[in-house]
Chains A and B, each alone.
Chain A
Amino acid sequence: MKGFRPVHLLLIVPLIAMLWVPSYNRADPEIAGVPFFYWYQLLWIPLGSLLLALVYWAEARASRKTK
């Protein structure tokens, strides 16, 4: 596909993490009384955002270089 860069593969990481439900369907370890199932998924919200930010910056840099 045109315009594809390896950094775009980062976009798939949240997909794998979230769809692999058995990897997080458990109660331990807890944080401050919150079971793993809940805090792990909440943690992926900022992680997912961070990955998108990395892709965004990588593309912005790449497009500056080509100009």
Chain B
Amino acid sequence: MRSWTALGVFVALVAFVTLLGFFASRWRRGDLTQLAEWGLGGRRFGSVIVWFLLGGDLYTAYTFIAVPALMFGAGAPGFFAVPYTILVYPLMFAVFPRLWSVARAKGYVTAADFVRGRFGSDTLALAVAVTGIVATMPYIALQLVGIEVVLEGLGIHGEWPLIIAFAALAAYTYTSGLRAPAMIAVVKDMLIYVTVIVAVIVIPEQLGGYGKIFASVPPPKLLLAPATAGNLGAQSAYATLALGSALALFLYPHAITGVLSSSSREVIRRNAVALPAYSIALGLIALLGTMAIAAGVHAMPEFAAGFKAFGANYAVPALFLHAFPAWFVGVAFAAIAIGALVPAAIMSIACANLFTRNIYRAYFRPVCTPAHESQVAKIVSLIVKAGALVFVIALPSQYAIELQLLGGILIIQTLPSVLLGLYTRWLHPYALLIGWLTGIASGVAMWANLGFTKTTYALELFGVTIPCYAALSSLILNIAISVALSFVLNAVAETRADTTAADDYA
């Protein structure tokens, strides 16, 4: 089933943002041969641009597909995305201005730069950098899965449109750096808001109101299963998923890149106040999964192929195709596809920054000119995107989804070095390193034990079963070990110098 109207609107919008991406290199023109210019937009973005940039960066296309898919498939547990995004902002408000200040004072471009300066350990910085890159790669691949889903909805098969879209993305990221996604994010976010507002008004109207929508949800899926004697059940899974995801989010390289591109620490704090507007959009998008249940798209023969290929991830595209006129389907699908390009660009830039600063310069070319450094980062951003593209085309999308679940477990292990490091350097770098390793080993073991498809691992404590997000339980182990070993190591070993001063954080 192919609608030329929907396809035409879709292609026109995607082509428009591609032009915008190339044009972005001229915007607030800077010397793009400097890494902080190419990879952080020169740290000159004000409150409004950062709002669009971080909104476009954190609320990815895949989120807009996967969260309602979870609501569609599992019901209430999928709504954890809402408390998750509520918990994120107090953390951003309280902690990240400190990271911005010290990065500005010392010229840091990545979290690993900070860890190296703070703890004087190249090895710990390498661990943080590698964790960031490994956790982000499947996340980029997932953005491509998001594009694949809407292409399926448009009746386009084959890999060539995906390759074209990504080649264009790679080209303008190369030439414009972080300025490109910042500019495109403005268009993307407006399209998303329009789509969401129309969807939550028009679709409930068609389905007979919210009362009927929720009445169509099977009762066991409407709420979380209550706790029983000896098992906290779905409620503890829900709370730990929200908390663990919130703690992990701002450790991701693409989030840190967005934060560091701000022009002042006030920009970060104002955005912690203003970014929840996106959470409202996300909460409403989550409800689209519930609407898809009520609309009965799953049983409609015209969507059978899509559900077969993408499972519950096809719920939102199917709902849009069912409820919207063709031209608006084009707008909505373009919003999702462009919503994939923005974070994919920022993620590849963030990985490139990490590789260049903390692997290439630290280990291969200690003395390198700023221009050379920036050139390496540009090339790495191409390689990262090509890798993600090959990954998605060559392997089933299930692998990208499962690896992204692991990504959260991995990235959260950098919390003691990065977040706690902003407040204290009492923790010994080797203790942090061993804590990091233990956290990763235990997290991966739990994930493998769950068959790679789930992340809530049931812990047995004092005879009570507590289903807990593996990222959170492995992080607690990581912190416990880091603290315990620091007591020992601080007593016997010397630590290396801290190159940051207390004033750098203010």
> What residues of chain A have their CB less than 8 Å away from a CB belonging to chain B?
1, 8, 11-12, 14-15, 18-19, 21-22, 25-27, 30, 32-35, 37-38, 41-42, 44-46, 48-49, 51-53, 55-56
Does B399 count as interface, using CB distance less than 8 angstroms?
no
Chain B interface extent, by class: 35 or more
Grouping DSSP codes into helix (H, G, I), strand (E, B) and loop, the A interface class, with mixed when no group exceeds half, is helix
B20 at the A interface (CB under 8 A): no
- Which chain A positions have C-beta within 8 A of B276? 45-46, 48-49
Asked, given contacts A11-B90, A25-B226, whether A52 binds B85 with beta carbons under 8 Å apart, the answer is no
**Shortest CB distance A42–B (Å):** 5
Interface contact A38-B287, CB-CB below 8 Å: yes
The 8 Å CB contact of B210, one of A11, A14, A26, A33, is: A33
Residue B12 interfacial (CB < 8 Å): no
A46 touches B280 (CB 8 A): yes
Interface stretch among B2-10, B75-83, B111-119, B160-168? B75-83
Which 8 A-B pairs give the minimum distances between C-beta atoms?
A33-B211, A18-B83, A33-B210, A11-B90, A49-B276, A21-B235, A52-B273, A41-B82
Which B residues lie at the A interface, using CB under 8 A?
76, 79, 82-83, 85-87, 89-90, 93-94, 209-215, 222-224, 226-227, 235-236, 238-239, 242-243, 269-270, 272-274, 276-277, 279-280, 283-284, 287, 423
Least Cβ–Cβ distance between A31 and chain B, in angstroms: 9
Contact call A14/B214, Cβ cutoff below 8 A: no
> Is the CB–CB distance between A41 and B93 below 8 Å?
no
Contact: B82 with A45, CB < 8 Å? Answer: yes
Closest residue of chain A to B90 (Cβ to Cβ) is: A11
Q: Most chain-A Cβ atoms within 10 A of its Cβ — which of B210, B274, B287? A: B210
Bound complex: CA A22 to CA B212 (Å): 25
Residues in A whose Cβ lies below 8 Å from that of B226: 22, 25
Which of A8, A14, A44, A48 has the most C-beta atoms of chain B within 10 angstroms of its own C-beta? A48
B142 → chain A, closest Cβ, in Å? 24
Residues of chain B within 8 A (CB-CB) of A37 are 76, 79, 222-224
In the complex, are the beta carbons of B87 and A15 less than 8 A apart?
A: yes
Known pairs A11-B90, A14-B86, A41-B83 / 10 extra A-B pairs, C-beta < 8 Å:
A11-B94, A14-B87, A27-B222, A27-B223, A33-B210, A33-B213, A35-B214, A38-B287, A46-B280, A48-B86
- What B residues does A53 contact at CB under 8 A? 273
A47 CB to closest chain B CB, in angstroms?
9
Q: How far is the CB of A45 from chain B (nearest CB, A)?
A: 5
> Given contacts A25-B226, A26-B223, are A33 and B86 in contact (CB under 8 A)?
no
Q: Which residue of A lies closest to B76 (CB)?
A: A37
Say how far A32's CB is from chain B's closest CB, in angstroms.
6
Known: A37-B79, A42-B280, A56-B273. A19 touches B223 (CB 8 A): no
Decide if B79 touches A25 in the complex (CB within 8 Å).
Answer: no
A-B contact pairs, 26 of them (CB 8 A): A14-B86, A14-B87, A14-B90, A18-B239, A18-B242, A19-B239, A21-B235, A21-B239, A25-B224, A25-B235, A27-B222, A33-B209, A33-B211, A37-B222, A38-B214, A41-B79, A41-B283, A42-B82, A42-B284, A44-B82, A45-B283, A48-B86, A52-B272, A52-B273, A53-B273, A55-B93
Contact at A34–B210, with CB atoms within 8 Å? yes
Q: Are A52 and B90 in touch, CB under 8 angstroms?
A: yes
Could you tell me if A22 and B235 are in contact, using CB atoms closer than 8 angstroms? yes
Name the contact of A45 in the complex, choosing from B211, B224, B280, B423 (C-beta under 8 A): B280
* Assembled-state Cα–Cα distance A60/B69 (Å): 42
Q: How near does chain B come to A37, taking the closest CB pair, in angstroms? A: 6
Question: B87–A8 contact, CB under 8 A?
Answer: no
Query: Given the complex, which residues of B lie within 8 Å of A1, measured CB to CB?
Result: 423
Q: Which A residues lie within 8 Å of B212 (CB)?
A: 33
Residues of B contacting A12 in the complex (Cβ-Cβ under 8 angstroms): 90
Given contacts A21-B235, A56-B270, contact A45 B90 (CB under 8 A): no
Q: Which residue of A lies closest to B279 (CB)?
A: A45
- Measured CB to CB, the closest approach of chain A to B506, in angstroms, equals 8
Please give, as numbers and ranges, the residues of chain A lying within 8 Å of B94 by CB-CB distance.
8, 11
| Nearest neighbor of A41 in chain B, beta-carbon distance | B82
A35 touches B93 (CB 8 A): no
Bound CA–CA A52/B91 (angstroms): 10
- Chain B residues contacting A38 (CB-CB under 8 Å) are 79, 214, 287
Complex Cα distance, B287 from A48, in Å, reads: 20
A51 to B273 CA separation, bound complex (whole angstroms)? 8
